[in-house]
Structure formats: C-alpha cells, structure tokens
Structure 1
C-alpha cells in the first residue's frame, strides 16, 4: 500500500481534490495490480490524504514510477508539503465502497520493530472484533513499516455521528494496545471521506 499526505492552503484544496478524484483516480485504476483507492480530506486545516492498494510489491513499485510526476501536477498549486510512504498491510479489512458522508480516523503509531507481529496479532484478534461491534464501522486496516517501527491504523465510519460516538470505545482499545502490544500513539487525525473502496482478492 502507498499513502500520500499533503498539506497546503485550505482555499486551494478543492481543485486538488477534484483533480485527484477525476484524472488521478482514472489513471491509477488502469495500472496493473491496482486494487483500490481512498481519498480523505480535512477542508478546514488544508490536508489531503490518499491511499492506494496493490496486489503485490512489484505492482506498487511499478506504479510509483508512472505516477510520480502526475501526482505533482494534480496537487499543484495546493500542496506546500507532501510525503509519500509505502506500507505492508499487516491486517486489512478495508471498505468495499463508501463515499461522501463517511468519515475516517487515522492513528500513527511507533513500536519496537521486534514487536511487529505482536501488534498485528493484537489488531487482528482484539481490536478489529471490537471495532466491528461499534455502530457505523465500515472497515479498518493496520499498515506497518517493519524496518522503521512505524504503523498507521485507519478506520472508516459510516458518518460523522458514528465517528464521534466511537471515540470513547476506540480510546479504550488504544490504551490496551499501549499495554499489550507496546505501542506509542504519535498522532490521531480525522478526515472527511471523498471516496474509498477496495476490491477483494479473487
């Protein structure tokens, strides 16, 4: 999986969102190995996050070479900062399809690389079942960078009310993750969903 996180002038965000949702989505969907894409925005602060899913590492690497220049065009003149990260999907239950009205929470974590499997087991066996029991849960994934001891947990909710109602329950899960999986939560962000959907493997 690859993520792109860009920040800039909120007044210029709309054009970047439109370009990514139209031309960018059409281009990436034609590439070999493409499985799905999500586009998430914070219109108030001026943040844009994209996530693309691929069948395998080679497909992701090949796509990066083809999309690098195009990303810069789509994000101009909005983006003043942009960061691209590549991840292993350690545990994944992404939504098949959600659109406007849905919301997304992203938590960035750090951990000892030796504890990667411990974290994956906790998310799969403890966190995901409890998230699934919360009203409005649409999908969630744990993405890891084993070498650097970093992770991102992304969870999609059906609407903003469900996102808000989940905060206490999710905070309790994070507390258990700190104790059981030995992780540190570095940041939590919430985004409006423009669209998100991943095709399950055949």
Structure 2
C-alpha cells in the first residue's frame, strides 16, 4: 500500500471552507480514481493546518491520481492555504480504524534517519513501536509511513477522544525516546489534529 500526504497551512478563519470542499468534491474526485483505497483528513483549526492522507494500492495508482488531480486539488485549497507540501510514502505498518467517533484526535510524529538505516527504522516501527502504541488506552488506529530514499518516516495515531490523546502524551514521549535511540532516528516534529474523516475503501 502507498500513501500521498498533503500538508497545508493558512488562515484559520478560512479553514472550514477548505474542509467542506475536501469532504465533498475532494472525496468524489478521489473515489473516481483507479486504485483509491481511502483517506484521512485532519485539522488544527486554531493554528490553521490541514493534513490529508490518501491511500493507493500501487505506486502507479498514486502517481496517476496525482497527475489527474493536482490542479483541482490546488484550486480547492487555494482560498485557505498559503503553503502546501506533498509527500509520497510506502506503508510500513497500519491498523486503520473501522469507525472513528465524533471527537477523535490524531497525533502525527515525523522522524528523520540515515537512509542506510531504513531497514532498522522499519523493523523498529513494525515491532516495538506498533505493538506498544496499540496497547495505549484509547488508541483506535495507527499508520506508519516511510520514504526510504529520503530518510523520513511519519507515524499517525488516532485516539477515540481528546482526553485519551492528552493522557497518552507521557507514555508516547517515553516510547518515542526509546524508538529514536533504537532506530538511530531524530524527531522532526510532533503535531496534534482533530479527526475530520477517516475512511477505508476496498481491501485496505
């Protein structure tokens, strides 16, 4: 499985319009693309940030969809976004939520590593990190992505509500510290978002 992420920042007062456009027209456009396997839409309304992840069953499907949609995607985001970053990933491990309750939240951690250590980072994520994250109370979904050649990874964890997210901060900080030491990684950023949409399509 492969994922494209779009990270957009802009005026918080314009974020709701962007969210509605992505929920409506954006989802319809994605669903019409071959190989589409679902999406996640996450928002920080206070600071004006959107994180969007779309899932694809092959690298070709991901690239073809980007070729088909990038112009319209920019048009949907332009009224809100002042900066847009697009990244492509392979899925290292995932346990996607079957249902996401109202009030669910997501924490995203981005890490850097030497590309020579990509296998070590992937092994650490699939093993120690995945198992311990899933054991944290309130966790309902985990997704781990990697760009091996760039030496970057991203971990998104969905929690059932904001209380569970807050209570997890200490245990996750401890786990993060252990994991970066074991995988020879460094932390680039840690961010928290409101869950707007998570959906799976087909066999993903």
TM range (shorter): over 0.9
Q: CA deviation at 1:201?
A: 2.6
Could you tell which deviates more after superposition, 192-201 or 58-67? 192-201
Contact 1:99 1:193 in 2 (8 A): no
Aligned-partner SS, 1:77: coil
For residues 42 and 190 of structure 1, the distance between their equivalents in structure 2, rounded to whole angstroms, comes to 7
Q: CA deviation at 1:153?
A: 0.8
Contact 1:8 1:80 in 2 (8 A): yes
For residues 7 and 134 of structure 2, the distance between their equivalents in structure 1, rounded to whole angstroms, comes to 27
**Which string of whole-angstrom CA distances, capped at 9 and with x for unpartnered residues, describes residues 17-52 of structure 1?**
000011101110121101010000000000011000
Contact 1:41 1:47 in 2 (8 A): yes
**Could you tell me which residue of structure 2 aligns to residue 125 of structure 1?**
127
Any residues of structure 2 matched to 1:43-192 within 5 Å, and which?
A: 43-192=45-194
**Which string of whole-angstrom CA distances, capped at 9 and with x for unpartnered residues, describes residues 139-187 of structure 1?**
1121111111011111111111111111111111111112111110011
Q: CA deviation at 1:123?
A: 1.4
Aligned-partner SS, 2:98: coil
**Could you tell me which residue of structure 1 aligns to residue 203 of structure 2?**
201
For residues 5 and 121 of structure 1, the distance between their equivalents in structure 2, rounded to whole angstroms, comes to 26
- Residue 10 of structure 2 is aligned to residue 8 of structure 1: yes
For residues 48 and 99 of structure 1, the distance between their equivalents in structure 2, rounded to whole angstroms, comes to 19
Alignment size in residue pairs: 202
Q: CA deviation at 1:128?
A: 1.1
For residues 99 and 4 of structure 2, the distance between their equivalents in structure 1, rounded to whole angstroms, comes to 18
Q: CA deviation at 1:200?
A: 6.2
Segments of structure 1 that go 5 or more residues without pairing to the other structure are none
- Residue 65 of structure 2 is aligned to residue 35 of structure 1: no
Segments of structure 2 that go 5 or more residues without pairing to the other structure are none
Contact 1:100 1:195 in 2 (8 A): no
TM-score w.r.t. length of structure 1: 0.96
Contact 1:99 1:195 in 2 (8 A): no
